[in-house]
Structure 1
């Protein structure tokens, strides 16, 4: 980017404040300071339009807001936006924007303007005078194809390739069909014409049907008249001692003959530079490979603005060709998401992008995206003047398909069933059979990679393979036409199921991290296998085991909605042979888990978890017994049924000891710690959480859905530490979470955000509560964890009430609490009800506030009490004081102090002691602050937190 000063301009501005800058070029134009030239000749441009051009070029690829452009070009003046539009129109007209496919300036509605043409830095441009005018270039050699008016996204490749050619002399530009090899080779030939004084010969071998004609074609292009059958020796003799660039385009179908001739030329004619384009390497002496990769496109699943997506060459090419075909030229932020999806589907293949873009004017962007989702259109036609093999994607792929052997064709078609990347093991499992030995599959795959029909990338010590979407659609069509689709799809589904099942066994053996990565790479294939198995009778026998394997993967990848849908669907298809077996266990466990987080803590969720536990115990499956107990414990936490927590956690601990697994034992300690905390025994909670934290490394190896606070045992410990009277240590536990990125386990991250927010609230740090709430809202919404959205609303209402925004906070809390009750999500409901009562009282609705607290206390008592019962009793006591009922108030406050002491919750006791001291001061009781002073003295830290500051003020008041 060229830095331009935002200083003053010529009209009333200080022209010297705008620095001169090195010349830049775009298309046929060059720009230096305030001089614009086209092909070396000055171009007349108004002063305002020049200012606008300078600013846009300086920030090429970036959306420049309209008000910023106005402020720069009309500094100090108040003008209407229409003035900007008029001058941009003038600028576009001068540049020829939109003519012959040229694109320079794009309007981003509601945002501003973006300079989208590639900008090249160069030497300082000279003012064109008769003496210094740049001479016109000589006409290119007649053998060169016409240069495209605009090439998008390949400028760096052309520059690097030119340097490689001058250094290495012999380079093969390799890549799959339609990726743009001929376009790059043509641009390079034109670019290097001057370097070779016009001695550039471009030979297009595509039309050749017979390899024996290669040498005579080259001889004819060089102007040689050769009368014997093989003119190769004459060609080499002619080229020896000469200097020229020889471009050999589309070599793959005559590769043997081209390779032999190119190698002889390289050896015998050192002044000759050779550029070959091919879908496979020539494999001869001297050859260097330049792999032409797909045009970079925006990442999938990421929200980007229009300006951001236009920074990617694949999008720029698509928009450029779409506008040339009649589509509007203003790209909105709403369009950006669709453009990203389209370009992702087209894999950065230039031909595919051009063919699709040419039809946007007919279908529209969203309809085009839907068409590509349904079936890649292999027969869409492109430019009439293109070679026949490049006029459709189907023709391009027919060309490649015709160049491979029978074994390669069979393997190529069978590999099309893979929806994503696959391994060599996967290729063998799907493509090998009685008629195709494994070694033939390996050999065929190697040749498909060499011929650019299969792409490959390293994966640690091994490699992964993939068919690009266009290639895959073509191969699938061939597979279906041959009548083998059902057979190969069944093999594929069986491979997916067996691979995931093996991964499940290995993860239970402790090798979770490495196996999860391998399993995750099967996600696209898992989805494809499920869709096929449930839509075709041939897949009926695989449906239950396939769903069981895939839903475990979905849970591990936090795809809980998919886990719920497929586990529910598979359970409906269970036959008697599967009932009570391992697959029903897996499906019931997954369904209960997924229902809990995506819908509600329903009776169906509990029934599924209990049924899973029943099967696990009947099968003596200790690992799944522990997993089901952990999930049931989570269910009881969420539903507020605290009396069940410690018994299920103790049961889980016994199972963990039977298993003898370090992570399981550490997990059971953390599970017990959380259970004791919520049930109201903070001393026992701290002891068990401390034990769990000591085995933190083991806990981090556990799987998602293992609800022993597997990756964040310090989060429940923070709550326990605050309750126990250690506010500073509590803050140390949760501070690392502020600003931390979300971990892999999205459910645990939600829980960590909720519990951290509660600690910040107890500390009186409402700014941090709001930060946590914002992150929780975004995280829950992103992953479809609907119940947590209501929890986030409750925390937001809590913050509002604490900050004095009682009316808004009460309204929001009144909407959040019914949602939590409907979801049977009671874990946070009691605290939120206490905040609602505070808000109601501040609005003058004391009776209703007391009633809310009274109903909440009764509900908690029915479930055996809870950790926050001392605080609920204290708050009711406070409200009874305001209602003029001191006896009831004192009873509640004394009960709160007694229960807080029993629970080991020193911080609850401090609050209750402050409330009781205020009551006794009003009652003129002797030494009303004595107990408060004793409780305050038990603290050893946290003296700058809200409660301790308030207690100190009471104790330090005059006469205290």
Structure 2
């Protein structure tokens, strides 16, 4: 960083033989204009404005290309052009220095044209030792993440009599003030004076401390008058550090100086504003840190100032520290946990350097440590977080102390309303709490972010840990009472924001960011000395929140605890209904389709029936339908669908009819009646309201989206491949925007067969990758088990039967263990084909027979035509003389396809029959059959099956009579 910053703005500056006029956008050499491009000129201007300072690549890209996304290569190209124009490196001239992996700095001497002849050197290295003028403390080697703050204050400080830097303990106020003081030395002719009030306890000595820093001898009793007398006609900068514990005395003295000495400028640091006339407050926030490290690479992570500070301090303390991507991701997570606060980051970095990442993370996870030590040379109040917070805590009046302690029961953001409800009791009235909260906010002990809506307040992690310790130590009874009021408040809040249908459609803004408080409230309610009735109600009413955040595993745990806590008063109530309904759904998608899932869903349905609540019944019928569909009990699923239609018709509501029609349409689709399926699914889509996330959460998945993707599969079977592909793409796109992983997984896994069947293997591969990612991130165990089978099917499409065998066999075993049988038929079909390619035809025949029998037994007739066709191929491959049996199987496949309206299956059967007839010398019959079947298709002519049929039809004219039929080629690819 440069010793001094030169900020030319629109004024002319000179360096070497060049003169730069940013306002005129002109670069001249020896008075002659230089031909330079606009981007190169912008780069030069940005660098010259801050000579000696390393500007990151990101800063330069944002400055020069503010509205365009460009690659680093563009920056390197224009930087190389700029260096060439300047003659950088020619005859020893140096203008731009590269900091590898960081950025660029302008290193030549820069002067304002018309300034004093003495130029200001711009250097990268910092001179050794403190400055001799102004008695400023030694500045830090680098001030990270404060470029905007520095620019803002340096530009404005001279125009205002007083600026106060206000921020929480440990945020870096002093570091910033010292750096500003050093930068402003030239502006004040070296007259920058530093007053450290940290060690001062007597308010009466504030004027003497200022006098001492100014070098003013005070021999009278009234030091303030002496100071004012000396300053009245002076021009200087006074930096007053650590004002908070002497705030009244500092405010009075500073106000007098501002009135009496108009050319004096004061920069103060405090944990609260001075609140005097003419004060400008600069609120200093934490260093930037990544909110979420997932997906960020090393360069992106190390661009955050908090991470840079941590790395700098940790590597300085232990040069052998590993800083690879996994380690830096852990560091970024620590910085997030520390709220980007500079002092805690420095202390934790030293801890990591001494004791390692794992030990430090373990301690952070178990208990936020307030006792870790930092630099020995730091002032005592900054050597540990404990000392830093003791300093602030000891300055608080009693009501503010008690308020701060009780606020520690909040885990995350909270509202003013919540603070009043939780903190106030018979000892502290609400008005006192509100006043105390205002003061604590002003003193930076409570952070506030007005942009968060009503939940604008929060305690930083280190402050919360400190206050919680104080609360437990000073008054355990009050601590327990505050925790119970906290739990009761969040129960009341959730009751208030829930819509009549149990959704969060009307109140999400009030609970945004409240998951931490809801968890804390649940933990309190379920403790041994908690309130069981409150626990049951809170667990039940919080389920929409957990579903809203896709935290199904956590929801499952709280629901199970709530059901275990049911008593005579809560059994059979709406509370039990919500717990059982949520538990069944959460178990189904995270653990599999166990008996416990069915028991919970049936119990919830019984309660809804007993209460005569038709809408609750419809909600549960949808969940029971998908459960029995997933376990392969299609007849029972169809029964639930019929019951849902009865309930919906009784309600007479279009939305209810849409939900029930979706269930019945899917049942018809799986049972093999595609025309009926189409009618019901089109009605479902027509009557359903546009997909909205709150409605999706209410039902557990999006019925409209599920109808669309089921309709896509139905259209493919009906022979409308183009419509099928369009609908599949629409369903996947729409589901991705709902931010609901369950619905998204359903859309993806049902879209896959459409893409595979139509031959779009690239789209199928992309869909599978997306499905796997969502399943893993959300720990959907059944879907994760299905990934292997889908990968095996993908391998089979590319002819890799060896890989396919392993994937599919393992997946089938896992799916059966989870009772997830919805996919077992298609996976068994793929396994049959893999076995045939492996030369294991006996096993293939045994498997296909078992699969046909299972479909006949459970009502999954959708696949029967294709299974019969595949069996025909196995038979003729094993026993070529079994032509009559093969013909019978193919004829049955063809007839059943026509009964189902499944033109896709009909075409495949017709292809194999045509090959068989051609092999028998019956080319005319084969061609006639293909023409008949192809006449029913009006679209999808680019799909695999239709292209194959067209090729075969053309080839039939040259078929040699009597040629034999081998294994149908379609068998190896479909």
Q: For the residues of structure 1 that align with 2:733 and 2:659, how far apart are their CA atoms? A: 26
2:493 to 485, 492, 499: 499
Asked if residue 667 in structure 1 is aligned to residue 662 in structure 2, the reply is no
Q: 2:874 aligns with which of 875, 879, 883?
A: 879
From the superposition, tell whether residues 929 and 415 of structure 1 become closer, same or farther in structure 2 (CA, over 3 Å): same
Q: Alpha-carbon deviation of 1:856?
A: 0.7
Q: Which residue of 1 aligns with 2:716?
A: 722
Question: Residues 645 and 661 of structure 2 are in contact (CA less than 8 Å); yes or no, is this contact kept in structure 1?
Answer: yes
Provide Cα deviations, 1:693-737, integer angstroms capped at 9, x if missing partner: 234544425133534534454222211111121111111122356
Partners of 1:567 and 1:361 lie apart in 2 by 43
SS of the equivalent of 1:830 reads helix
Superposed, 1:483-494 pairs within 5 Å as 483=476, 484-494=478-488
Residue equivalent to 1:940 = 938
2:852 is the alignment partner of 1:860: no
Other-structure match for 2:836? 841
Q: Does 1:434 align with 2:426?
A: yes
- Mapped to 2, the partners of 1:865 and 1:133 lie a distance apart of 84
Q: State the Cα distance separating 1:163 from its structure 2 match.
A: 1.4
- Give the length in aligned residue pairs: 864
Q: What SS does structure 2 have at the residue aligned with 1:195?
A: coil
**Contact preservation (8 Å) 2:868, 2:892:** yes
Asked whether the equivalents of residues 718 and 903 of structure 2 are also in contact (C-alpha less than 8 Å), the reply is: yes
C-alpha separation in 2, matches of 1:765 and 1:145? 68
Per the TM alignment, residue 197 of structure 1 is displaced from its structure 2 partner at its CA by 1.0
Deviation at 1:177, TM superposition (A): 0.7
Shift of 1:958: 4.4
Tell me if the contact between 1:677 and 1:685 (Cα under 8 Å) persists in the aligned partners.
Answer: yes
- Whether 1:922 aligns to 2:915 is no
Give the Å deviation of 1:937. 1.1
Asked if structure 2 preserves the Cα contact closer than 8 Å seen for 1:552 and 1:586, the reply is no
1:183 pairs with 2:175: yes
Match 1:623 to one of 592, 596, 615: 615
Given the two structures, how large is their TM-score scaled by the length of structure 2? 0.83
Change (3 A) 1:669 1:210: farther
Report Cα offsets for 1:97-130 as digits up to 9, x if no partner: xxxxxxx99xxxxxxxx746x864465689xxxx
Give the C-alpha shift of residue 660 in structure 1.
Answer: 5.7
**Is the Cα–Cα contact under 8 Å of residues 306 and 331 in structure 1 kept in the other structure?**
no
Residue 765 of structure 2, aligned match among 759, 762, 770: 770
Question: Which residues in structure 2 correspond to 1:142-541 (within 5 Å)?
Answer: 142-225=134-217, 230-232=222-224, 234-300=226-292, 302-326=294-318, 328-459=320-451, 462-481=454-473, 482-483=475-476, 484-503=478-497, 505-506=498-499, 508=501, 512-541=504-533
Partners in 2 of 1:333 and 1:859 — Cα distance? 50
Once the 2 structures are TM-superposed, how far is the Cα of residue 200 of structure 1 from its aligned partner?
A: 0.5
Q: Hey, what does 1:907 align to over in structure 2? A: 904
The TM-score, its normalising length taken from structure 1, stands at 0.84
Tell me the distance in 1 between the aligned counterparts of 2:678 and 2:281.
63
The structure 2 residue matched to 1:826, chosen from 821, 828, 849, is: 821
Distance in 1 (CA, whole Å) between partners of 2:810 and 2:597 is: 24
State the Cα distance separating 1:809 from its structure 2 match: 1.2
CA contact (8 A) 1:588 1:609 kept: yes
Question: In the aligned structure 1, how far is the partner of 2:778 from the partner of 2:160?
Answer: 52
Q: Post-superposition shift, 1:367? A: 1.1
Compute the displacement of 1:517 (Å). 5.0
Distance 1:650 1:301, change over 3 A: farther
Cα displacement string for residues 660-701 of structure 1 (whole angstroms, at most 9, x for unaligned residues): 655444333333322322222222222232233234544425
Q: Is the 8 A contact 2:108 2:121 kept in 1?
A: no
- Indicate if the aligned counterparts of 1:667 and 1:699 stay in contact, CA closer than 8 A: no
Give the match for residue 21 of structure 2. none
Distance 2:408 2:468 in 1: 5
Separation of aligned partners in 2, 1:524 and 1:928: 69
Deviation at residue 27 of structure 1 after TM alignment = 13
Change (3 A) 1:769 1:586: same
Shift of 1:777: 1.5
The Cα of 1:199 is off from its aligned counterpart by 0.6
Q: What's the counterpart of residue 85 of structure 2?
A: none
- How far apart in 1 are the matches of 2:706 and 2:106? 51
Q: CA deviation at 1:24?
A: 7.2
> Cα–Cα, structure 1 residues 133 and 125, in superposed 2: closer, same or farther, change >3 Å?
closer
Structure 2 counterparts to residues 3-82 of structure 1, below 5 A: none
User: Secondary structure, in 3 states, of the residue corresponding to 1:241?
Assistant: coil
Q: Contact 1:507–1:515 at 8 Å: present in 2 too?
A: no
Distance 2:500 2:273 in 1: 42
Deviations 1:378-398 (A, max 9, x none): 122323332222222122212
Task: Report if the CA contact (8 A) 1:380-1:392 is conserved.
Answer: yes
Match of 2:114 in 1: none
Structure 1: distance between partners of 2:472 and 2:54: 56
Distance in 2 (CA, whole Å) between partners of 1:31 and 1:178 is 25
SS in 2 for 1:148: coil
Residue equivalent to 2:678 = 686
2:17 is aligned to: none
- Of stretches 271-280 and 431-440 in structure 1, the one that deviates more from structure 2 is 431-440
In the TM superposition, residue 618 of structure 1 has moved relative to its aligned partner by 1.4
Deviates more, 1:641-650 or 1:211-220: 211-220
Q: 2:951 aligns with which of 936, 939, 953?
A: 953
Quote how far apart the aligned CAs of 1:164 are. 2.5
Q: 1:212–1:257: 8 Å Cα contact kept in structure 2?
A: yes
Q: In the alignment, which of 752, 757, 782 is matched to residue 757 of structure 1?
A: 752
Are residues 193 and 539 of structure 1, via their aligned partners in 2, closer, same or farther at CA, if it must alter by over 3 Å? Answer: farther
Tell me whether 224-233 or 784-793 shows the greater mean CA deviation. 224-233
In 2, Cα distance between equivalents of 1:696 and 1:135:
68
Deviations 1:304-351 (A, max 9, x none): 444432222112211222223236243122212321221122111111
- The runs of 5 or more residues in structure 1 that have no matched partner are 1-18, 33-62, 73-103, 106-113
Report the Cα offset of residue 216 of structure 1: 3.3
Runs of 4+ with >6 A deviation: 19-32, 135-138, 737-740
Aligned partners of 1:140 and 1:193 also within 8 Å: no
Query: Matches of 1:629 and 1:337 in 2, distance apart?
Result: 45
CA distance in 2, matches of 1:288, 1:654: 69
- Gap change, CA 1:480 and 1:661, over 3 Å in 2: farther
**Residues of 2 paired with 1:263 and 1:125: CA distance?**
38
Two-structure CA RMSD over aligned residues (Å): 3.3
Q: Is residue 869 of structure 1 aligned with residue 867 of structure 2?
A: no
